[in-house]
A and B are shown apart, each in its own frame.
Chain A
């Protein structure tokens, strides 16, 4: 059975800290891995990764994929209170996205 596992389940940090969120997967017919951010509403797209070892970067957020070890990480540097959200990892397997249960990040001032 295809599955996507995220860790940790939740994380509490102070502003300015750097965090690393993990996503491992066992999915047949892997095509790509996507990261989403969900605040109190719908998930919004962050990154899509298809190749190993190539970092995607957007401001203070960055992500990388390891297709040999079947995992991805999402890094957030110099965290801000606005980064507080649930971060979802999803794997695309030719037809649909399979989501992990998410990591809840809380950033306190």
Chain B
């Protein structure tokens, strides 16, 4: 299994540009999570999906952020327009949801720099 795949691995863009991050979860997993990690705030959950349906997007910072999961093997996180404060590492994780708790598997992350 290739694990969770994210692209791009690095993204440098100018303020105001649209940024799209992509994620392919582990085959067979039914939950997908988008996280943002910064030195100041640590690892923050932005949004998660169960069976392709968004369940909780309360962590999405503002309307500039949106996420979709059109099918079980693909998800996107879009920032439009991007701002310098969006600079962070964005992780996608997937899991097989159980009652006891998810053992989440993280992708390698996308390091986003907005200048």
Q: Are A and B a genuine interacting pair, yes or no?
A: yes
For chain A, the bracket of interface size reads 20 to 34
Q: Using a Cβ–Cβ cut-off of 8 Å, how many residues does chain B contribute to the interface with A? A: 21
Known contacts A41-B108, A41-B109, A42-B108: A99-B103 contact under CB 8 Å: no
Q: Does B107 contact A (CB under 8 A)?
A: yes
Give the contacting residue for A99; candidates B42, B56, B101, B108; CB below 8 A: B42
Within 8 A of B (CB), among A45-100: 45, 48, 50, 88, 92, 95-100
Query: Complex formed: what's the CA distance from A92 to B97 in Å?
Result: 11
In the assembled complex, the CB of A19 is this many whole angstroms from the nearest CB of chain B, namely: 20
Q: What are the interface flags for B37-78 relative to A under an 8 Å C-beta threshold, 1 for contact and 0 otherwise? A: 000011111001000000110000000000000000000000
By the criterion CB–CB under 8 Å, are A45 and B33 in contact? Answer: no
Known contacts A41-B108, A42-B107: A97-B42 contact under CB 8 Å: no
CB-nearest residue of chain B relative to A101? B42
Query: Complex formed: what's the CA distance from A31 to B97 in Å?
Result: 12
Known contacts A95-B56, A101-B42: A50-B101 contact under CB 8 Å: yes
* B residues near A34, Cβ cutoff 8 Å: 101, 103-104
By the criterion CB–CB under 8 Å, are B100 and A96 in contact? Answer: no
Give the contacting residue for A31; candidates B101, B103, B105, B108; CB below 8 A: B101
A residues bordering B, Cβ < 8 Å?
Answer: 31-32, 34, 41-45, 48, 50, 88, 92, 95-102
Write 6 A-B pairs (CB below 8 A) sorted by A numbering. A31-B101, A34-B104, A44-B106, A92-B101, A96-B45, A96-B56
